[in-house]
Amino acid sequence: MISRPLTLKLLSALLIFGSWEMASRAGINYAFPTFLESMGALWNLTISGQIFVAYAETLKPLVTGVLISTFIGVGIGVWVGLSEKFDWLVSPIFIIMQSAPLAALIPLVIMAYGIGITSKTFVVCIMAMPVIVLNTSGAVKNTPSSLIEMAKSYLSTEREVILKIIIPSASPVIFAGLRLGVSAGFIGAILAELKITPTGVGDIISYSRMTADYPSMYAAIFSIIVLAVLFLNVLERIEKSLFAGNDLGYVS
């Protein structure tokens, strides 16, 4: 029997794709293909293997940038949340990074790192890391003081307080920041491919737009959305498995 959440998700997808199909058939714009045409183009890209070759290029800076942003971002975020002086020193940098227009920074990145994978990875980090750092620091700062005092009353070391109290307690917000960071990383990876060098999925989008192959362009964009959703679901499952106690109302 299909669960209610899955039923609602299927209905939501049916509503979106149905609206897409009807809007396209209404003739809003000649450059707006139907959902079925886009899925046909995606099937052709898959059968030819072009989509796999493209993602082999796109995932290199994306995965590298997200991993760097996760490990460094969570570490800095915890430090910012624990140290008021470090918070004053570092937080403004990430707030500026989050609010700065990335498209305006890409020429500076190209001048500094060239047009290779290094610059694309750096763009992903610029997009993903501020979200992760700021969410992690906010979660650490808002750890219930009663839990910390209880741990100290049982003579827990500072390391034990951080690893067994603060991080598990802050894990829901930290993983929410990771999910937002992954989403931002996808945006950064595709933007880098469109603005720096046309490779990977960005190349399919650019080439399809120039040749007026709009179904292929929408198919590539659709594939990015699907992959991002899969990444976010994986993160959600990892969070539930690592910190199952949070769902029961206590720190695991």
pLDDT tens digits along 124-148: 888 888 888 888 888 888 877 777 7
DSSP letter string over 74-142?
A: HHHHHHHHH-HHHHHHHHHHHHHHHHS-HHHHHHHHHHHHTTSHHHHHHHHHHHHHHHHHHHHHHHHHT
Does position 113 have pLDDT exceeding 60, yes or no?
yes
Q: What pLDDT, on the 0 to 100 scale, is given for residue 249?
A: 47
Structure confidence by residue, pLDDT tens digits, 174-226: 888 888 888 888 888 888 888 777 778 888 888 888 888 888 888 888 888 88
CATH 3.30.1510.10 correct for 35-242: no
Q: Report how far residue 239's alpha carbon sits from residue 234's, in angstroms, rounded to the nearest whole number.
A: 9
Q: What pLDDT, on the 0 to 100 scale, is given for residue 2?
A: 56
Q: Report how far residue 93's alpha carbon sits from residue 224's, in angstroms, rounded to the nearest whole number.
A: 30
Cα 208 to Cα 33, 43, 203, 204: the distances in Å are 13, 15, 8, 6
Lowest mean pLDDT among 87-91, 160-164, 222-226: 160-164
Q: What pLDDT, on the 0 to 100 scale, is given for residue 247?
A: 53
Answer whether 77's CB lies under 8 Å from 133's CB. Answer: yes
Does position 246 have pLDDT exceeding 60, yes or no?
no
Average pLDDT, the chain: 81
Does position 1 have pLDDT exceeding 70, yes or no?
no
pTM: 0.77
Residue 106 token pair: 């890409």
Q: What pLDDT, on the 0 to 100 scale, is given for residue 203?
A: 83
Q: Report how far residue 192's alpha carbon sits from residue 58's, in angstroms, rounded to the nearest whole number.
A: 10
